[in-house]
Structure 1
Amino acid sequence: MIRNPILPGFNPDPSICRVGDDYYIATSTFEWFPGVQIHHSRDLANWTLVARPLVRASQLDMRGDPDSCGVWAPCLTHDGARFHLLYTDVKRYGRTTMGGASGASLRDFHNYLVTCDTIDGEWSDPIHLNSSGFDPSMFHDEDGRKWVVNQLWDHRPGRNRFAGIVLQEYDPAAEKLVGTRTNIFPGTALGLTEAPHLYRRGEFYYLLTAEGGTGWNHAVTMARSREITGPYELHPDTYILSSRTRPDAVLARAGHADLVHTADGEPWLAYLCGRPLPGRGRCVLGRETAIQPMRWAEDGWLYTRDGRGLPELEVPALSNTPSPRRQTEERHDFDSATLPIDLQWLRTPEPDRIFSLTARPGHLRLFGRETIGSVFTQALVARRLQAFCTSTSCVLDFEPQDFQQAAGLVVYYNSTKFHYLHVSHDEDVGRHLRVMTALPDAPQGDAFTAPIPLPAGPVELRCEVDYERLRFGWRTAGSEAWHWLPELFDASILSDEASAPGLPNFTGAFIGMACQDMGGTGAPADFDWFAYRERAFVVDPAIS
């Protein structure tokens, strides 16, 4: 059986394609660098992260991009000769830097195309397509023509800002869009029409879109037309997949889908979903990717297997060559000159300014840069939380000289939501350990625990997450006993649903290592190793 989600943790907006016996899924990375995650499978059940194609400053520079902006909704296709990847780099979400509403309808969406002969090769520099909206997608027609569809954004007062799906032809020789831009689909009453994908089957062009927003009302809408420019008629059920009518669904928020066919012609739908915390309704693991088989009916429309239009938690697997199963326990000793693929950093295309794997062999050295939560250059290297119950630890060697220098272990959603166990120094306590918490939905924006004096030398830091419960511990390197902070922290704030009104929240929880030097001297912090493990629920981490 395939158990959903197939890509757990922050892996939203899946775009799926098949090349021979190989399946690939590209997902959004937003402000995390390098841009776009691409997973590979041969059985649709087991997936391996094989590439992040946007690795150069010429392809992506997100310094200054607000939280939950950056890379949105990549589209991965193959035209028989090479891969094509389209993506949006969102530069403005319509809020001022101080959180005001000035120009709230104004947004900057830049859509680009990169290509490569192989999935894990060196991808081309980007071709700018347009900036008219987001979620660009490319369709390769049977006659060799290429078309781009994207959501159209309308900032004018009194207008529907989600103004429909526009279509325009792409000329690969000229490397630009050509001809007339046509609005081919205005959307349905559910609204918030986005995430278009075009397909051709028989005499019809089929259009998939996402509607209802990326929260509880999310849905997959289908329409079709005999002409690519329309008019498009709606599916008899309008929405072919959604969990919006099932508040008890384990796989909630189902929507933003893409269609692929097996070599035998069987249709499968990859889509995003979210798993709410039991009793809390917050999706701390972010928007994840699920998949399930569909069926083409005699009326020429696509349906779920049972026709109910609901996401499935388990579905029969393909009888194909198995792929390697996802690792649920990892330890990085930083003995290589390259960063392990499960780790990412924020925004900057200049990683040498924030970390080094060679300055102190066998260690990840972070150079203290801007404040934690900075949208420009901050030294934070982290991985996704991919399970409700996890254990994470690291060893930190760091001798701060003043209160403006800090380093430690952070559980991070964005600049307004994190718990940060860090080592710092002040004139009253000396070298000490404490937690800084950024609270997204409280009158006070941040909170600090009391400082705990620390002896000199390396310190081991530990974080235990069990659903909405989060605890921190520490011990001097080499000692046996753990010291647990008395506070119980709320992990549920690390979710889309915990937010101040009007701000974008589209990512998920990460855990990793960070270092700041607000004095501007770049004080380094060295991490000897970093370990992550998914596990069963425990009542008290002190006895696990």
Structure 2
Amino acid sequence: MTTISNPIIPGFAPDPSIVKIDGTFFLVTSSFHLFPGLPIYAATDLASWTHVGNAINRKSQLSLAKSTVLIHRDREQPLVGAGGLYAPTIRHHEGTTYIVCTNVIHSEGQPQNGKPPTFHNFIVSTTDILAGKWSDPVPFDFNGIDPDLFFDDDGRVYLLGSSWKIPSGSISGFEIDLSTGENKSEEQIVWHGAIKVIPEGPHLYKRAGQYYLLIAEGGTHDDHQISIARADKPLGPYESCEVNPILKPTAGMDTDVMYTGHGDLFQDAQDRWWLTCLGVRKTKDGRPSIMGRESFLTAAKWDEGTWPALEQPIAKTVTLPSLLPPRSITSEPGVDWVYIRDPDLDSYKILPEKQTVSLKPSEAGLDNGGDSPVTFAGKRQRSLDGEARATLSLHLSDRTPGLAGLVYYKDEHRHATIAFDSAQAAFVFRAVNAAKSEQLLPRSKTFPVGEKVNGDADAEFRIAHTEKNLVFSYRLRIAGQGEWTVAGTVDTEALTDHDFTGPCIGVFATCAESSKGQGLREFSDVSLV
């Protein structure tokens, strides 16, 4: 028997797409403003997933400098929308694995100026997915997001996506040349969806000579749902399923997983059908979890000539008949480390086996959403309950202006830190969320170490996280001695919004312009997950 725990990919893992290659399942998710981008997870049994690589793993492949996070306030609850890498699709054909994706570019003045984002769509490929040697992106012209690839039996390849050409949106498609990215046919509208509200996330399948188009609708929160249509040709015309949506919105539903949608259908080795989709766990008191959108698995039933039927995803452990014998998949050390946008990689020295991280401080701080690199190195939060720690070597006589410590980070608008301010010789706690009232957040606090302390010491930082709270603590350790002090506690609701991303925990270092290039910040005993 195989035990599967939902979510199958916990923590910051939205918009999953999946493919089976030589008995191994490979799943890719959105990554938005983080580098490396497009994380790839592997499993042989649909249960024991390993992060094996990232499709965007070289800065030369593309830039994330314009993946600014925008706060849309034109609705009852603000939407916090990141730019960057949206909703990839992964497919395998004749020995080559392909990923298609959109790099969403935000410009200055958005969203207040009413201008839409710019969409840079691209294809990357590899002939050895475990080696991590992905091609440079091949761009293609498409004014929209969420591209999907479909290989037909006659050798033609089709690209479908969520088009932004008309106000209500549509799924449109065309035949594509994968080697050049050129359109081989005119783009045409394929389907407006069942409810005609934000149709996106298309995936195309062929069964018994008919083409089935699976899409998400209703937006990615309360009204999120999955609909399906079928046609005799890849580009339609499509007939909507009479019982759409086949995965219903969770608003008002008694379920422990909210906002489910944006799914990809697939078969296991025994030809059983499954759906992987995004969802958000519901807390014990009915709130969306701070973990954000994660990847879930649910059973599907799809007999030939019929429409697929989907079970509602649930957040619990289920035991299923064995799918495939498990085998180990190794990953390169450090594959799970992430940075913000376009990092200056020369500013980092990470030795995972020694649990040490050396950082060259950046002038840009964590509030920066622009082009300047921010010195931050972290990992996605994978567990609701846990503890992150790091120790910073201090020279208390050095009053060079700078800040270094541990951060709970979602984006430039939403993060909380416990750090040491060398100019003040003080520990500093700070929590911010520009999308919410300051009254929901604890006040910033400063804890001076005292003038009598002067010499070498260690600053220890700790973030204890649960479903309900984030507790930030510090201690100054001199000659191995020191007591822990709680600097601040943040209710997770204060950092939870209608958003696209999830939390990361990491170390950071910043400096004043006058002290730029003054030396490294040395962290030891770094434990983030």
**Fold shared per TM-score above 0.5:** yes
Superposition TM-score, scaled by structure 1 size: 0.86
**Corresponding residue number in structure 1 for 2:72:** none
**Corresponding residue number in structure 1 for 2:420:** 423
**Match for residue 365 of structure 2 among 348, 371, 386:** 371
Partners of 2:338 and 2:124 in 1: CA distance:
21
The within-5 A match list for 1:239-318 is 239-279=245-285, 281-297=287-303, 299-304=305-310, 311=314, 313-318=316-321
Residue by residue over 1:181-218, the C-alpha shift from the partner in whole angstroms, topping out at 9 and shown as x without a partner, is 01101123261110011111112101111111111211
**Corresponding residue number in structure 2 for 1:408:** 405
Unaligned 5+ runs, structure 1: 328-337, 498-504, 534-544
CA distance 1:311–1:225, shift in 2 (3 Å): farther
Matched, 1:512 2:506: yes
**Corresponding residue number in structure 2 for 1:475:** 475
CA distance 1:21–1:152, shift in 2 (3 Å): same
Matched, 1:488 2:489: yes
Matched, 1:380 2:376: yes
Partners of 1:237 and 1:245 in 2: CA distance:
18
Partners of 1:280 and 1:484 in 2: CA distance:
31
Indicate if the aligned counterparts of 2:355 and 2:526 stay in contact, CA closer than 8 A: no
Matched, 1:442 2:437: yes
CA distance 1:54–1:326, shift in 2 (3 Å): closer
Task: Tell me the SS of whatever aligns to 1:106.
Answer: coil
Output the amino acid matched with 2:526. Answer: F
Matched, 1:59 2:70: no
CA positional deviation for 1:494: 2.8
Partners of 1:304 and 1:324 in 2: CA distance:
30
CA positional deviation for 1:19: 1.2
**Corresponding residue number in structure 1 for 2:76:** none
CA distance 1:339–1:62, shift in 2 (3 Å): farther
Matched, 1:221 2:221: no
CA positional deviation for 1:301: 1.0
**Corresponding residue number in structure 2 for 1:341:** 335
Partners of 1:14 and 1:282 in 2: CA distance:
19
Residue by residue over 1:60-97, the C-alpha shift from the partner in whole angstroms, topping out at 9 and shown as x without a partner, is 211232122111111110012100011111111x7726
CA distance 1:142–1:286, shift in 2 (3 Å): same
Partners of 1:443 and 1:411 in 2: CA distance:
17
**Corresponding residue number in structure 1 for 2:463:** 463
CA positional deviation for 1:228: 1.2
**Corresponding residue number in structure 2 for 1:148:** 159
Matched, 1:321 2:332: no
CA positional deviation for 1:283: 2.3
The within-5 A match list for 1:57-206 is 57-67=59-69, 68-92=82-106, 96=109, 101-102=112-113, 104-121=114-131, 122-154=133-165, 159-160=167-168, 163-189=169-195, 191-206=197-212
**Match for residue 12 of structure 1 among 11, 14, 17:** 14
Indicate if the aligned counterparts of 1:29 and 1:72 stay in contact, CA closer than 8 A: yes
Task: Tell me the SS of whatever aligns to 1:165.
Answer: strand
Of the structure 1 ranges 40-49 and 459-468, higher mean CA displacement relative to structure 2 is found in 459-468
Percent identity between the two aligned chains:
26
Indicate if the aligned counterparts of 1:65 and 1:91 stay in contact, CA closer than 8 A: yes
The aligned length equals 498
Indicate if the aligned counterparts of 1:45 and 1:317 stay in contact, CA closer than 8 A: no
Output the amino acid matched with 2:416. Answer: H
CA positional deviation for 1:303: 0.5
Of the structure 1 ranges 379-388 and 7-16, higher mean CA displacement relative to structure 2 is found in 379-388
CA distance 1:9–1:260, shift in 2 (3 Å): same
Partners of 1:250 and 1:226 in 2: CA distance:
38
Task: Tell me the SS of whatever aligns to 2:425.
Answer: strand
CA distance 1:250–1:187, shift in 2 (3 Å): same
